[in-house]
A and B are shown apart, each in its own frame.
Chain A
């Protein structure tokens, strides 16, 4: 059914509202009077929950409901990511608004019997605060200080049903743009809202749209950059899988504002679920006349095609991405000319990241002023972070710009795993840096992160603790950029390799103090001379660790030790006089490097020791085996 005008869209919205009615309790709408409402069970379909068995839970739920004769009163859905990956697989029951954590297929029959039939909450599956032991059915502390704009529909609507998106105000912003706003008004709205690119660099989105619109041409293109390649970042994936229509709607709005009739989504081939959902969304949008010719009865035509990446990090850089869409090697080229002037097939092209796009429909609907009120002076709105590493609550969090790292890591994130000590937070992936304890209280926005030697990047936030070696972390990122360097410019191709070699030398205990000077010198040369953003930012992990954790580098070089106990070549295992001679360690040693008579102190042959640490793991006497 093709929608012919806004009226038909509104009728469809009114009809579709009942699809999500049961879930509106979460939004504060009174659903108590709606007796006889069909109940909804949402089973988190995010990557984490999916991998730990949520599809099986949904399956068992359907079977159990069928057996209990409840199948027509209770519906099971698999929406996108709930965000609280640590406690997955999770399910939510609406309108009761109860969330259950770490659900296994074996728990399903209890949930059906106790919750759905007897009306009692299953206490043991509710979230428990690890400190106060308090249980929460709703309002779990993890979500308390979050504000979901880009993720507003993720984990809430069924992503494979366009009607649910329409019920949740979907395509209303497009209708507003087509019939009540001029293209310049749309661009102005974005400029006033202060929205900046969420892919990393933070360029103002409205300005980018204006540049593209100003370039004279018979065709312009809109590209959605969904080539999320930062290791440890999965926010774009969650939007694509959980709310694909919001990306399509934003691209349509961009098309109308910029004067383009063709869009491309460049998505990683490694995200098959996202590709699947996008294909369904595009098909449904075409079916309802929201893509194609004369959209909603206007004179605006627009269509979207999917293009697949093939595993090249550098393709996140816009000029490289454009070459890749054209079917070539994804090598970046010098800017200017900017894509806004000369991009895909030589035509003006606007490239926006997934998260940036997901923010646009609410900005159009609720107004620039609403958005500009959120955040800090220069960074407006919210940012989604993929919080991971040594933190208790791993997950996807969306917070207003200006939130401090402490609030994210110790508030939402629940602190450091196993009561260890926080050492640093790594933001911005391979282009970013490590932020030490002293900056835990500085508000996060584009400028403040740059000022302390890191960057927003796409939003990976990895928490490091006392057991992480900062030299090793820098080496890890350099290995990544060295691998992913496209090879076009010497600064990056050769430079990252030399940097990696020096770091290798240091972690093996062969470094000299002169190496540190050379590291810094080379880092700055690469920063100044590399062709694209990937190369220019490649030295950041080294520069920031050198700045804040120089003592660790010095310990590796001068004392020949690794303070965190990570760098194997610098480790030494020794058995102390506390040894009782039980022989457990000797049995476990893979190279038989441990010898000694029963009930006597054993010794480790350092020549044969692999430094695997198996002996220490086996030892039951505190302090009998030490590592230094």
Chain B
């Protein structure tokens, strides 16, 4: 998600991408996807920049960003932990898993740990219902997460050593 490029390089990359598109305004969502991929989130100034570049009101950009849950206006931690809240996971203990993660990370869903290491979020169904309940860390699915000990072991893999 994030890399070591400087903010200027981010802006340059984004501009290049926008310039490469034949129809700009109708591709607003694709542009926002790209921007979130390079910035990790969609800060105000980036939204403003996109609005100017596309010659549309910034309210329109904000309206789209705030509508879709995939877009975030808050920076995320280094690792994003998601708990699947699909129905299959729900009936097999997703709520308990979420509470346990909130406990272990000492944050609520939607928040980021003070050391910026983990962001805890929820999502709806990743299609791994056979493994319910599941948690997803940086896109990797961990299934049958019932025991606090197992959850702790998964999180430990993402903590820096020492």
Query: Which residues of A are interface residues toward B (Cβ below 8 A)?
Result: 47-48, 50-52, 85-86, 88, 229-234, 237-238, 269-270, 272, 307-313, 324-331, 386, 388-390, 394-395, 426, 429, 460, 462, 464, 468, 473, 476-477, 480, 486
Structural contact, B87 and A231, CB atoms closer than 8 A: yes
Please state if B87 and A389 are interface contacts (CB–CB under 8 Å). yes
Contact (A390, B91) CB under 8 Å given A269-B70, A310-B71: yes
Chain B residues with Cβ below 8 Å from A486 are: 67
Encode contact with A along B25-40: 1 for CB under 8 Å, 0 otherwise: 1111110110000000
Q: Is the CB of B129 within 8 A of A48?
A: yes
For B140, give the chain A residue with the smallest CB separation: A51
B10 at the interface (CB under 8 A from A): no
- Minimum CB–CB distance from A339 to chain B (whole Å) comes to 17
- B92 partner residues in chain A, CB cutoff 8 A: 389-390
Chain B contacts for A327, CB-based, 8 A: 25-29, 64
Between A47, A238, A327, the greatest number of chain B beta carbons within 10 A of the residue's beta carbon is seen for: A327
Given contacts A327-B27, A328-B28, 18 further A-B contacts (CB under 8 A): A48-B131, A51-B131, A51-B134, A51-B142, A52-B131, A307-B29, A310-B33, A311-B69, A311-B71, A312-B67, A312-B68, A327-B25, A327-B28, A328-B60, A331-B67, A394-B132, A462-B87, A473-B91
Q: Does B128 contact A (CB under 8 A)?
A: yes
The distance in angstroms between the C-alpha atoms of A308 and B69, with both chains bound, is 13
Q: A237-B127, A389-B92 are in contact. Are A460 and B87 (CB under 8 A)?
A: yes
Interface size class of B (residues with CB under 8 A): 35 or more
State the Cβ distance, A618 to closest chain B Cβ, in Å: 14
CB distance from A47 to the nearest CB of B (A): 4
The answer to whether B143 and A386 have CB atoms under 8 Å apart is no
Residues of B contacting A464 with CB < 8 Å?
91
| Contact for A480 among B30, B32, B124, CB less than 8 A | B124
B33 near A329: Cβ-Cβ < 8 Å: no
Question: Which residues in chain B, 98-150, are within 8 Å of chain A measured between CB atoms?
Answer: 123-132, 134, 139-143
Find the A residue at minimum CB distance from B69: A311
**Can you show 17 pairs from A to B with CB atoms below 8 A apart?**
A48-B129, A48-B131, A51-B134, A86-B130, A231-B125, A232-B129, A233-B125, A307-B30, A313-B124, A386-B129, A388-B132, A389-B129, A394-B88, A395-B130, A477-B87, A480-B124, A486-B67
A460 to chain B: which residues have CB within 8 Å? 87
CB atoms of B143 and A52 under 8 A apart? yes
- Closest chain A residue, CB of each to CB of B54: A327
Contact A326 B69 (CB under 8 A): no
Encode contact with A along B66-102: 1 for CB under 8 Å, 0 otherwise.
0111110000000000000111101110000000000
Whether B63 sits at the interface, judged by CB under 8 Å, is yes
- Chain B nearest CB, measured from A330 CB (Å): 7
Q: Please give, as numbers and ranges, the residues of chain A lying within 8 Å of B130 by CB-CB distance.
A: 48, 85-86, 88, 388, 394-395
B residues 1-35 in Cβ contact with A at 8 Å: 25-30, 32-33
**B71 engages A389 (CB within 8 Å):** no
